Amino acid sequence: MNNRRIFSMDETYAEYVRDESQFTGEAKSISFPRSEEEIRSILRELREQGIPVTAQGGKTGIVGSGVPRGGHLMSMTDFSQVLDFSETDGKYLLTVEPGLRLTELKQALARLGGPVRLFWPPEPTETSATVGGVAATAACGIGVYAYGDTKQYFEAARVILADGTVREIRRGEHFLTIDGQRLDELDAFLGSEGMLGIFSALTLRLLPCTAEQWGIAFFFKTESEAWAFADGLQGNPLPPVAAKVTAAEYIDGESIRLLEERKELLSKLNNVPPIDPDFDAMVYLEIAGEESGIESMAEILMERALQCGSDPDRAWAVSGEKELEALRTFRHAVPETVNLAVEENHRNHPEITKLSTDISFPGKMFSQVMDWYAECLRDLNPAHCIFGHIGENHVHCNLFPENLSEQEQCEAWMRWVLREARGFGGCIARENGIGKVKRSWMPKDDAELMRMHALKKIYDPEGFWNPGNMF
């Protein structure tokens, strides 16, 4: 390779050919560009040699979409400056380079100063993820309950296409028609897993922070009590007060036990008290708004939790940024311990990868969906746990095979359950992507996949970007 920024792959870079799914790939070369010009110069050389490129962010993905399958690996983590901030008529926009990590974004927002404190609603819980990775997966955080889909918080993007041209794409300016449906061109790139082009800048839409925020964790002795409480959140509207529920997360008993067993491995949980082994489920809520509104809302929720069998005196309730962060750390420790368990099994059996559903069921009741999962899991032997968003019944069912035969059994279950879920009204690849882990599980006639095929033909017919992703 002539370009001094392209390095041959060797063991120094071993950590770059794996993500949190434990899927492991390979690459011939790697680069760490720091500017759009540098990216274009590297791409020019690779294109001339016919070498395909996989873009990579923070490697926190859980489907192997940023893991290369041959070709060149372009890590974006050194391309991470904050570029511009503007405010027009109450619209706050921040433009950043794609390698900026979410921790760095939070720090940058705190540094903005000004009379209004701002935040970026998507905030997927893994803060070492990059903004480019979030854009490419359209990942959602726990705030999805109140703030909705991630895509709407991107206002514009600069995208480098396979032929090296750079496009500035602004929301609402260009539309495509795919399968008879009108699609904003920006939304075509968001969630496309790096299959259409590489983001070189992203403009984020920010919102003003609310006056106060509280977090409450309710514990239940049976899962069905927690499901009834979640049903109430969905079906029984909360009265209008000067506050709203901004996050509603469900954590089942197996997830709690997994967390308790591995607590000592996560030093940040040192101060978290042990959870009574009698508890078999937990619902974590965040409430934001005016203090008086939050207090009224908390009272209503405590009353409802009590009616569903949860003792409000044993709930964990916190206010203030630091305390809330501690409770969020606890919530985040659930997927972290799940991933640790997968990593342990992967160490013993390298063919084991993360096996997790990512299905939402809009319009159904929570208990209906959990009953459906219970029925689907009835004859499956390997251990499993379930946690995730109560909104749209978007929980993740994680399986823990311990050997090759169980891995195969679980993969077969995944293929089967995705088809069953479609029949039950599910949207089967909601926030984590398809990548290289899930592609063989997906029904070939999936609408999202068909749409990606059509977009790939338009933007990257020669398959320059991310070989092996999705299809």
Ligand X SMILES: Cc1cc2nc3c(=O)[nH]c(=O)nc-3n(C[C@H](O)[C@H](O)[C@H](O)COP(=O)(O)OP(=O)(O)OC[C@H]3O[C@@H](n4cnc5c(N)ncnc54)[C@H](O)[C@@H]3O)c2cc1C
- Span near ligand X by CB under 6 A; candidates 133-141, 170-178, 274-282, 362-370: 133-141
431 binds ligand X (CB under 6 A): yes
Q: Tokens at residue 261, please?
A: 């067993």
Interaxial angle between packed helices 404-423 and 366-377, expressed in degrees from 0 to 180 and rounded to the nearest 10: 140
Of 401 and 433, nearer to ligand X (C-beta) is 433
> Between the CA of residue 336 and those of 83, 93, 126, 294, 332, what are the distances in Å?
32, 31, 9, 30, 6
76 binds ligand X (CB under 6 A): yes
CB of 136 to ligand X, least distance (A): 3
Among the listed residues 22, 29, 130, 255, the single contact to ligand X using CB under 6 A: 130
- Span near ligand X by CB under 6 A; candidates 62-70, 163-171, 248-256, 372-380: 62-70
Q: Tokens at residue 445, please?
A: 């006639």
Of 78 and 173, nearer to ligand X (C-beta) is 78
55 binds ligand X (CB under 6 A): yes
Of 125 and 310, nearer to ligand X (C-beta) is 125
68 binds ligand X (CB under 6 A): no
Beta strand spans in 53-138 (E): 53-56, 72-75, 82-88, 91-96, 118-119
Helix (H) or strand (E) holding 38: helix 36-48
CB of 198 to ligand X, least distance (A): 4
Of 29 and 125, nearer to ligand X (C-beta) is 125
- Span near ligand X by CB under 6 A; candidates 137-145, 228-236, 263-271, 302-310: 137-145
Of 232 and 435, nearer to ligand X (C-beta) is 435
66 binds ligand X (CB under 6 A): yes
Query: Which residues have C-beta within 8 Å of that of residue 321, sequence separation ≥ 6?
Result: 213
392 binds ligand X (CB under 6 A): no
Q: Tokens at residue 223, please?
A: 């899962």
> Using CB under 6 A as the criterion, what x/- string covers residues 444-463 for binding ligand X?
--------------------
141 binds ligand X (CB under 6 A): yes
Of 133 and 253, nearer to ligand X (C-beta) is 133
133 binds ligand X (CB under 6 A): yes
- Span near ligand X by CB under 6 A; candidates 32-40, 127-135, 222-230, 447-455: 127-135
CB of 55 to ligand X, least distance (A): 4
Contact between 244 and 297 under an 8 Å Cβ cutoff? The reply is yes
Helix (H, G, I), strand (E, B) or coil at 158: strand
129 binds ligand X (CB under 6 A): yes
98 binds ligand X (CB under 6 A): yes
59 binds ligand X (CB under 6 A): yes
Query: What would the 3-class secondary structure string for the chain be?
Result: CCCCCCEECCHHHHHHHECCCCCECECCEEECCCCHHHHHHHHHHHHHCCCCEEEECCCCCCCCCCCCECCEEEECCCCCCEEEEEEECCEEEEEECCCCEHHHHHHHHHHCCCCCCEECCCCCCCCCCEHHHHHHHCCCCCCHHHHCCHHHHEEEEEEECCCCCEEEEECCCCEEEECCEEEEHHHHHCCCCCCCCEEEEEEEEEEECCCEEEEEEEEECCHHHHHHHHHHHHHCCCCCECEEEEEEEEEEHHHHHHHHHHHHHCHHHCCCCCCCCCCCEEEEEEEEECHHHHHHHHHHHHHHHHHCCCCHHHCEEEECHHHHHHHHHHHHHHHHHHHHHHHHHHHHCCCCCCEECCCECCCCCHHHHHHHHHHHHCCCCCEEEEEEECHHHEEEEEEECCCHHHHHHHHHHHHHHHHHHHHCCCECCCCCCCCCCCCCCCCCCCHHHHHHHHHHHHHCCCCCECCCCCC
Residue nearest to ligand X (CB): 133
What's the rounded Cα separation, in Å, for the pair 245 and 222?
A: 23
441 binds ligand X (CB under 6 A): no
Residues 176-235 contacting ligand X, CB under 6 A = 193-194, 198-199
Interface with ligand X (CB under 6 A), residue total 38
Of 58 and 121, nearer to ligand X (C-beta) is 58
CB of 261 to ligand X, least distance (A): 17
Of 56 and 367, nearer to ligand X (C-beta) is 56
CB of 457 to ligand X, least distance (A): 18
137 binds ligand X (CB under 6 A): yes
Of 104 and 431, nearer to ligand X (C-beta) is 431
132 binds ligand X (CB under 6 A): yes
432 binds ligand X (CB under 6 A): yes
136 binds ligand X (CB under 6 A): yes
126 binds ligand X (CB under 6 A): yes
153 binds ligand X (CB under 6 A): no
Residues 316-345 contacting ligand X, CB under 6 A = 335-336, 339
Chain contacts with ligand X (rule: CB under 6 A) = 19-20, 54-62, 65-66, 76, 98, 124-126, 129-130, 132-134, 136-137, 139-141, 193-194, 198-199, 335-336, 339, 431-432, 466
